[in-house]
Structure 1
Amino acid sequence: MEAEKDNEAPFAVATLSLSLPTVFPFTQPKIPSAPHPNKLKLPTQASSLTHLSLSTAASPTPSFKSSISANPLHAPLSLGPLRPRDPSNAVALRRSAVVWFRNDLRVLDNECLTAANNDSISVLPVYCFDPADFGKSASGFDKTGPYRANFLIESVSDLRRNLQARGSDLVVRMGKPESVLVELAKAVGADAVYAHREVSHDEVKTEENVEAAMKEENVEVKYFWGSTLYHMEDLPFKLEDMPSNYGGFRDRVQKLEIRNTIEALDQLKGIPSRGDVEPGEIPSLMDLGLNSSPSMPQGAANASMVGGETEALQRLKKFASECAAQPHKPSKDGTQSIYGANFSCKISPWLAMGCLSPRTMYQELKKTVTRPISASLNSNDGGNASSNNGTNWLMFELLWRDFFRFITKKYSSAKKQVEAAPATACAGAFA
């Protein structure tokens, strides 16, 4: 036994002495620092590295000058290895990630943005205006009309301002996501793309195209779930076994616990310095092939439908206070409903764009209303549901919304859903 112990100790010491100099070199050559160019740049991950004791002058990194412009489909980049192998180079410790914003144009309760920020030293937020979402449909109608497009433009603009206020920015491009994201990932040396999953057939098809393109570049795609009140991972059934009728769905999920919202970060990781990516201009209606309708309201009249998370949160607070002040008037089934001129919360457009999450709505109302909010729609409550554990009408509506989104997801890519296994928390609902 003594002989064995003597043999083990040197081995452990040898391993430690070889590992530390490799990761944290203690002597480095002195290299004269080059003068800083007189040029205004976006906030980069340099501020995120200030807490490290490594010297960035250990080995100068190659300077990549990107040809990325407002049209990312021109001259795709072909860069070298994404991560240098030289351990004395600070870039070897760098892990850049791309956050692909879709119908989640918010910083509050945005799981993929928070996860990317926690996992990476630098983060590149991106929104892509896909030409497939505009133009005419097969039946001759606008795929996206001027009202919705204008609301989207305002929401993207507000997201950019919110990201800039937190030390980041939003890169905006027009083009197919599978082309745009690959080029940007190569430009900044990203090894992962973070995004929320969507539910419609066309959105699922786009996800498949992005996954295929990223696989060729050896870039990981991490998906999250954040568009419903109940999280998909918390459902008491696999998605392919989901009841196809609302009553069956409601009975199975109404007692589930709703996850807490994810707080918005005060400070985000900076934009990657590699690639020198320009933020790009947010397109106008004309850029999207649309013209303002003669009947489209202008000026103050249009202010009632301003897109963006900032407007959504203000509306939610106002609605919550009005809901709390309204006299109680339950319906026959025990649910509490708003009535009169303000019979609707009128927040659906912001929910659809993801400027606001259903969980944020629920949590805000839960803080302000005096009557309990519950998903229970059981008529066997003896008529006391509204005063004890009955439902708020908004919960009733959000539950219906969940049902439609889950059932759409179930049938949007049936074969893939049946074959897929539940993913981990970092990868979203289904891989």
Structure 2
Amino acid sequence: MDSNTQSCENPEINSTEEQSEVSRSPFATASLSLSSLPTTLPTQFFIQPKILSLFAPTQVKVPTQASSLSSLSLSSTSPSPSPSKSSFKSTFANNPLQSPLSLAPRRPLDPSNGAAIRRASIVWFRNDLRVHDNECLYTANNESMSVLPVYCFDPRDYGKSSSGFDKTGPYRATFLVESVSDLRKNLQARGSDLVVRIGKPESVLVELAKAIGADAVYAHREVSHDEVKAEEKIEAAMKEEGVEVKYFWGSTLFHVDDLPFKLEDMPSNYGGFKEKVKGLEIRKTMEALDQLKGMPSRGDVETGDIPSLTDLGLNPTATMAQDGRQSVSATMAGGENEALQRLNKFAAECQAQPYKGSKDCSRDSIFGANFSCKISPWLAMGCLSPRFMFDELKKTANRTISATSNRNDNGSGSPDTQMNWLMFELLWRDFFRFITKKYSCAKVGTAPATACTGALA
């Protein structure tokens, strides 16, 4: 047996000499580029010496996986070709593919997966008191580990105006309180809840954001001057706290981003607006989520009580008629559930009494000039999405059209005129909201403000 074999069989031989060499050069690790490494290495690197003689040829190719090595750590700087002075047993296994050394740097996880998840977020409900077709709630739920839904009764919306009238009357306030209460029930049924406060949103939301460590606030944009000013205050307050504010649009049939013109270039008359949006596609509605993310555990935030009319500074007896009975307005219950029930009832009436009048809806029918779907209050509070309403009635119209397609209407008009009527009404609603947004965002002394003054004159 040759000397090389003896050295491999007895690794303790010449150990004194190895230790002295290592001690003289404790950092003797050499980085060898594979470009300078021969394509073949002695078989003693990979095969036990006792069975060396059983293999031929006496050299073996380095496995291709070794090409990923950028350096080899050696425990000796001895130029001797003999591997006996190299402590490979402490660095490599018999098979280099089983080496404990990493062959390539471990890649970090995709940062986009974790960056999209927020620890805690606030959903600020305003005039969107619903869980169906609510992009704000839907997005916050998908992007956050926990969600805190909040509604604020702003004291600035109550009391007397400069003209001496109630800013919010008792009937509207009652409808709003009922809608907020119904929203809380719908959120609770999905594993969440609603935090209710009486206070200015720019103060309440900042306080809640600090308590739960919120990363963002999600809300729908509004259009009136006071609502736009409130949004600006929220953005300024949250910017100081390093909290992002994300706004969405969900109060109209057409999305503001889908309009074929810039908002500042919007026609100031309904005819021009209607012509511009003709054929514009309506976005699909979003289904209500069956389960929502839980409330943040940090901060131990109390949900709070829903205020009464007295808490809001209003007289509860103002909703009573002189004879002591409730007025007709007081019998209209607020809330998403009530809105959906009324929509279903209206759709059933449409299907039971399909349109039979002329194209201008002048004949007697449930679509006549004196008829109303009576759903406007729920649309105004956001208890019902205009897109959802259009989709549901469109399904009813399609069923009606299918049922009457083989019958002669005696020239009384197309059975889908009911959808034209509905589109006509919802387009008017869109027009007023977009035109309000256009002028509420215009700044005094700028070109848009001048154009606004001229247009309104």
Could you tell me the TM-score, scaled by structure 1's length?
0.72
Number of the residue aligned with 1:180: 204
Q: Deviations over 1:110-133 (max 9, x none)?
A: 000000000000000000000010
Contact 2:320 2:326 in 1 (8 A): no
Q: Does the alignment pair 1:97 with 2:136?
A: no
1:165-204 matches, within 5 Å, as: 165-204=189-228
1:261-410 matches, within 5 Å, as: 261-296=285-320, 304-333=331-360, 338-339=366-367, 343-369=371-397, 370=399, 386-387=414-415, 391-410=419-438
Contact 2:362 2:369 in 1 (8 A): no
Could you tell me the TM-score, scaled by structure 2's length?
0.68
CA distance in 2, matches of 1:109, 1:258: 13
Number of the residue aligned with 1:411: 439
Q: Does the alignment pair 1:132 with 2:222?
A: no
Give the C-alpha shift of residue 393 in structure 1: 1.3
Segments of 4+ moved more than 2 angstroms: 1-15, 293-304, 327-342, 369-372, 383-392
Tell me: CA distance 1:266–1:117, structure 2 relative to 1, closer, same or farther (3 Å).
same
Structure 1, unmatched stretches of 5+, are 24-86, 88-92, 373-382, 420-431
Number of the residue aligned with 1:112: 136
SS at match of 2:106: helix
CA distance in 1, matches of 2:443, 2:391: 35
CA distance in 1, matches of 2:271, 2:227: 27
SS at match of 1:414: coil
Equivalent pairs counted in the alignment come to 340
CA distance in 1, matches of 2:279, 2:361: 17
1:166-245 matches, within 5 Å, as: 166-245=190-269
CA distance in 1, matches of 2:425, 2:241: 43
User: Which has the higher Rg, Structure 1 or Structure 2?
Assistant: 2
Give the C-alpha shift of residue 324 in structure 1: 1.6
Tell me: CA distance 1:126–1:276, structure 2 relative to 1, closer, same or farther (3 Å).
same
SS at match of 1:194: strand
Tell me: CA distance 1:295–1:273, structure 2 relative to 1, closer, same or farther (3 Å).
closer
Contact 1:100 1:126 in 2 (8 A): yes
Pick from 13, 16, 19: which aligns with 2:106?
Answer: 16
Give the C-alpha shift of residue 328 in structure 1: 2.2
Q: Which amino acid aligns with 1:16?
A: R
SS at match of 2:129: coil
Q: Which amino acid aligns with 1:274?
A: R
CA distance in 2, matches of 1:314, 1:351: 13
What is the RMSD of the two structures over their aligned residues, measured on CA atoms?
A: 3.4
Give the C-alpha shift of residue 296 in structure 1: 2.4
Select the structure with the greater relative contact order (CA < 8 A; seq sep ≥ 6).
1
Contact 1:163 1:169 in 2 (8 A): yes
Structure 2, unmatched stretches of 5+, are 1-32, 37-64, 72-101, 402-410, 448-457
CA distance in 2, matches of 1:187, 1:335: 59
